[in-house]
């Protein structure tokens, strides 16, 4: 069955996920959807010093939003901040240095952020595809720590702040690769068997879809969405998937094309009219499973995932106030 999923997904990808797929889909976009002024609204974007995160930050900044860049690398983040301010003329760009693979650091950051800022939209964009199994200082497998647990901890920590605001949203950048994976809660940290970074990443991206669906059920005042940016030419793709990049580089989307649906979900009034908890591609809700792929999981597994992540989250929550660097 796995070979079937992979073949169907790749054929679908060649048709829909490439630059030509975006160009075809964009013929049906309404430009008015993004002709908005979001001055006074606050946006937090993780992994925003390059790629899709930086492209989304620029578009939101151009529309007047206050943008909080959450990045791991201080030097690259400061360069990105300078570029965004220069290109957009928006001075309301703030930088926070946080490692999303470190749940203790996320908790400290979130507790401090809640006392100093408001938040209308959280964009979970930071991602990681490590092709050899690495364990963080907290004893967590790095892909899982960044993509799944990091997303869970940051989102749940900031939910009380989001719930104070009108038209609050959470947008999570997943991947179409999740379509080849059925949720597997038996080995969340990929400790057994052969380690395949691409499949671990795809599993994490499936987990992000489940998180979005579950949050949408329990937090009705916030609009949750998760999306696939398509196959875009980003630094992460070049470094994590060099063979794929070499084969596909002439067909990949630009960073701005990859970020388009992120921006649309974050700022357009049309996106908020659609039900919470959906998976999007090119401004349209799309199925979370391929036909006949047998990737549906029992509801008990989805609930168990939330329970396990909550246990992890509480384990790393510190009572001492933190003071991550903030500029």
Decide: 78 and 327 in contact? Cβ < 8 Å: yes
Q: What is the DSSP letter of 176?
A: G
Taking each continuous run of H as one helix and of E as one strand, the counts in the chain are: 13, 8
Q: Which two tokens stand for residue 40?
A: 């006074």
Selection from 127, 104, 122, 218 nearest residue 175 by Cα: 127
Give 2-57 as a DSSP string.
Answer: HHHHHHHHHHHHHHHTSHHHHHHHHTT--GGGG----TT-EEEEES-SSHHHHHHH
Decide: 100 and 147 in contact? Cβ < 8 Å: no
Decide: 170 and 122 in contact? Cβ < 8 Å: yes
Q: Is residue 245 annotated as part of the catalytic site, yes or no?
A: no
Beta strands across the sheet bearing 121-124: 93-97, 66-71, 42-46, 121-124, 168-173, 222-228, 278-281, 284-285
Cα angle for residues 223, 225, 230 (degrees, 5° grid): 155
Catalytic residue among 4, 22, 201, 245: 201
- Catalytic residue positions? 201
């Amino acid at each position: 069955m796995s070979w079937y999923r992979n073949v169907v997904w790749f054929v679908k990808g060649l048709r829909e996920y490439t630059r030509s797929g975006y160009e075809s889909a964009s013929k049906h976009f309404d430009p008015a959807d993004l002709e908005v002024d979001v001055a006074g609204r606050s946006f937090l974007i993780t992994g925003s010093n390059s790629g899709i995160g930086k492209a989304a930050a620029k578009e939101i900044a151009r529309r007047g939003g206050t943008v909080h860049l959450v990045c791991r690398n201080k030097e690259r983040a400061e360069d990105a901040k300078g570029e965004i301010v220069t290109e957009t003329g928006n001075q309301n760009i703030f930088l926070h240095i946080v490692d999303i693979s470190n749940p203790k650091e996320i908790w400290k950051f979130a507790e401090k952020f809640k006392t100093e800022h408001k938040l209308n939209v959280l964009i979970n964009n930071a991602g990681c595809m490590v092709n050899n199994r690495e364990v963080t200082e907290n004893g967590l497998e790095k892909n899982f720590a960044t993509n799944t647990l990091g997303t869970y901890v940051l989102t749940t920590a900031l939910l009380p702040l989001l719930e104070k605001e009108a038209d609050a949203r959470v947008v999570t950048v997943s991947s179409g690769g999740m379509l080849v994976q059925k949720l597997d809660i038996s080995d969340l940290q990929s400790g057994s068997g052969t380690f395949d970074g691409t499949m671990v990443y795809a599993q994490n991206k499936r987990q992000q879809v489940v998180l979005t669906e579950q949050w949408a059920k329990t937090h009705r005042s916030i609009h949750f969405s998760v999306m696939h940016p398509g196959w875009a030419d980003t630094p992460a793709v070049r470094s994590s998937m060099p063979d794929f990049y070499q084969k596909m580089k002439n067909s990949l989307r630009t960073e701005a094309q990859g970020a388009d649906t992120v921006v649309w979900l974050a700022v357009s009034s049309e996106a908020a009219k659609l039900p919470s908890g959906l998976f999007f591609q090119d401004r349209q809700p799309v199925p979370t499973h391929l036909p006949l792929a047998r990737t549906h999981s029992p509801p008990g597994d989805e609930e168990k995932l939330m329970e396990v992540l909550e246990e992890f989250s509480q384990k790393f929550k510190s009572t001492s106030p933190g003071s991550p660097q903030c500029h």
